[in-house]
Structure 1
């Protein structure tokens, strides 16, 4: 077969290869069969190590399996020397060449040509024979032409293989990042809910006091109501047990002032109903705050929300300070009402804890351009300047160990800024501290619901 036919046949076989692996095995097989070599091994350069990737002959006992696969450092052995020098070489007698690396398949002569792409050795084509002087200069020239033709194809296949591997790694990384993001979202929801439950735990005593007061007079009124009912019942018994009312019975009826009893019953029932309604409202507000309704978005009244929160905190506030509310005309806002209530709860509770005995807490709402503003101010000792810059940093707290998680204000910041597109600012000196919450006057179609849901 002429050299031209050999090269043409090789090029055809190379074009049919779909992958880098297919290409390398096709090159080794085609060279071995068309040039009549005992064997042919393809090495690829990987970080200055020449690694066997495909073979024809004794090194390939079964389909696409290499026997005793080896790595040769660039510069060592005949293959390594050819890779380093970038020059083809024929070794007529390996027994007298000190560079030759002996193994169980050692040959008597060797032909090696470099595979060079853009002046870089990307591999070596190597053939060994059991005979001395087995290779001619024509064999070397043909093999070098084949190597030159194969070089860009191998480089391209390597690039595609690396690209696919990188793509696969990126997809795997993206999957991990997505799963991590979902886990972070779940963890954040747990943190938010846990922070709410911490607040509820702090409120338990105050809420119990608020419930016990109306409950106590409701129970007392019910007891009195029973006595009134008993008097009326006795009166009816007297009337219906006697057909003719004697003077003695009249005297008994006069001693039972049932009209007054009826009036008192009406009054007591009214008080009882109001007391029980008050308990219902307190429990309803507290349950509404505790519910994990993280994904609900709707129109809400910010002033009403502040009333609900201060009602829950009433016992805590009354025991420590005085509360002033100054509500402006605020249109309904759109967002997650439960989360906004949590922000109010956290900041007002912080204000209560920061206030001096008989201190003052004021909550003011007003409009400022495109924002609904809520100023929550206490007349405590203020926040030190060095702490202001860290006030919204997660796990930062100035409270003693065990009394603060350092997550409350961080969660408030995320709810207002990231989930509702608003702002939260803090101003403080030695006489007072003001937290300013600024919520945009969004409509439902303007709000970025992605962050809320």
Structure 2
């Protein structure tokens, strides 16, 4: 063991405090630690190489660390009071390791200050590295969730536009065929006036009175039966299109009188194809507008924090975050109730990351909310601060857990679901970047987080003057 740096200066009497230890000859592939093992130990690598991995909830494995001759590990779960292991440690080459039981580890920590100091130094370094790694994974998971949601949001209007374009092609073909048949028929002045009247009425922006489903079904049946009686082909297909834009039997009665039965069907099918085409063009416009709105929201979300010094519209920031998370609200059928204060000023700040604050708080609120519940977002201000309150209708935060809610790696979610960094990150951004504060109130049926942000950025501290005190920190 004296080949291991951490034990190189230890006295014989201190080393004897370890008691009995296991010397393990471990060939390649030997699993020394498996997830869930209740017995914790301290390990010393005499030779060979090892690999420590953590199995994530999505089935992937995250490399936590690698060890080789001279390294020691296992002190972190012992010192943090863990009740079981969460990682797998496997030999990647033949080697020898020493396993020290928890009792021997604690005796050594109590009797040898030199080893104790080295162990605690390792703990600080490893906890820092683990925190950085977990934060990085948290950001990647958030990014992946947002990207998947964005693709889902873009797919809906994209599919609608594609379907409308396909139907529009069919309508244009029908219009061309009917127009060609009309060109082979000598139309009377009355027939031309009727077609012009129908076209003008179709092109007019009509906003029909809204109808219930039953009323609409009755209107479609009445119109379809009338069209069939006057000899119109596709009457049951044509009727829903005409009723949807407010047409009734009286609106097309001129065609019945102007056209003989053999060409009346062409005249009304031409009208239906024209109206349907206009509706499809509207669908394409709405779909493209939705895509544009999503792109604008993503740009605001992604680039709002690029300039450190500037102004932030909090309402705009919240709205872009809501757009990005829309798929999660729909998945749980949640209603968002917004109560935004009028005339809210912009924040003058040098802080960054405000969108990430809303994302983390809203994501927790969504997880806490029951299906079909409601989330409330409200804003208000006073002379110095701007406030944002985000409330859910969940079960609330238990009293004994509230003091830990902003601690890193602390989570009330099931094992493997949360990393415990969402509120820690939000708290660090609000306090560290914006000099603000986050508080919360919670009881069964309502939990509200309130973010307080100063309207004006605090003045920067003056640089120290040259002199005796300049180098003191």
- Is contact 2:404-2:410 (8 Å) kept? yes
Partner of residue 199 from structure 1, selected from 104, 123, 142: 142
Q: CA deviation at 1:310?
A: 1.4
Partner of residue 160 from structure 2, selected from 214, 217, 241: 217
Does 2:324 correspond to 1:312?
yes
Partner of residue 416 from structure 1, selected from 403, 417, 430: 430
Partner of residue 324 from structure 1, selected from 323, 332, 337: 337
Q: Distance in 2 between matches of 1:288 and 1:258?
A: 45
Q: TM-score, normalization: structure 1? A: 0.50
- Is contact 1:383-1:433 (8 Å) kept? yes
Q: CA deviation at 1:222?
A: 1.2
Larger RCO: Structure 1 or Structure 2 (Cα < 8 Å, ≥ 6 residues apart)?
2
Aligned to 2:294: 282
Q: CA deviation at 1:271?
A: 1.7
Q: Which moved more, 1:409-418 or 1:379-388?
A: 379-388
Q: CA deviation at 1:438?
A: 0.6
Q: Distance in 1 between matches of 2:302 and 2:345?
A: 25
Q: Distance in 2 between matches of 1:402 and 1:437?
A: 28
Q: Quick one: structure 1 residues 215 and 372, their matched pair in 2 at CA, closer, same or farther if it must change by over 3 Å?
A: same
Q: Distance in 2 between matches of 1:449 and 1:285?
A: 35
Q: Distance in 1 between matches of 2:139 and 2:456?
A: 26
Q: CA deviation at 1:385?
A: 2.3
The alignment partner of 2:404 has SS state of coil
- Is contact 2:375-2:390 (8 Å) kept? yes
Q: State how 1:290-305 maps to structure 2 within 5 Å.
A: 290=302, 296-305=308-317
- Is contact 1:288-1:338 (8 Å) kept? no
Q: Distance in 2 between matches of 1:387 and 1:367?
A: 30
Q: Which moved more, 1:427-436 or 1:336-345?
A: 336-345
CA deviation string 1:93-112 (max 9, x = no partner): xxxxxxxxxxxxxxxxxxxx
Q: CA deviation at 1:364?
A: 0.5
Aligned to 1:104: none
Q: Quick one: structure 1 residues 289 and 448, their matched pair in 2 at CA, closer, same or farther if it must change by over 3 Å?
A: farther
Aligned to 2:273: 261
Q: CA deviation at 1:197?
A: 3.4
> Which ranges of structure 2 fall in alignment gaps of 5 or more residues?
1-127, 189-258, 463-473
The structure whose Rg is larger is 1
Q: CA deviation at 1:336?
A: 6.4
Q: Quick one: structure 1 residues 246 and 360, their matched pair in 2 at CA, closer, same or farther if it must change by over 3 Å?
A: closer
Q: Distance in 2 between matches of 1:294 and 1:449?
A: 23
Q: Distance in 2 between matches of 1:373 and 1:279?
A: 31
Does 2:344 correspond to 1:333?
no
Q: CA deviation at 1:225?
A: 0.8
- Is contact 1:193-1:292 (8 Å) kept? no
CA deviation string 1:3-53 (max 9, x = no partner): xxxxxxxxxxxxxxxxxxxxxxxxxxxxxxxxxxxxxxxxxxxxxxxxxxx
Q: Quick one: structure 1 residues 296 and 211, their matched pair in 2 at CA, closer, same or farther if it must change by over 3 Å?
A: same
Aligned to 1:227: 170
Partner of residue 430 from structure 1, selected from 419, 444, 449: 444
- Is contact 1:346-1:408 (8 Å) kept? yes
Aligned to 2:283: 271
Q: CA deviation at 1:358?
A: 2.0
CA deviation string 1:304-331 (max 9, x = no partner): 2212111222221133222211100211
Q: Distance in 1 between matches of 2:374 and 2:313?
A: 24
Q: Distance in 1 between matches of 2:387 and 2:311?
A: 17
CA deviation string 1:203-233 (max 9, x = no partner): 4555444334333332221111111211233
Aligned to 2:121: none
Q: Distance in 1 between matches of 2:350 and 2:172?
A: 49
Does 2:394 correspond to 1:380?
yes
Q: Distance in 2 between matches of 1:207 and 1:375?
A: 25
Aligned to 1:86: none
Q: Quick one: structure 1 residues 369 and 270, their matched pair in 2 at CA, closer, same or farther if it must change by over 3 Å?
A: same
Q: Quick one: structure 1 residues 328 and 198, their matched pair in 2 at CA, closer, same or farther if it must change by over 3 Å?
A: same
Kindly tell me the number of residue pairs found equivalent between the two proteins. 262
Q: State how 1:346-361 maps to structure 2 within 5 Å.
A: 346-361=360-375
Q: State how 1:144-183 maps to structure 2 within 5 Å.
A: none
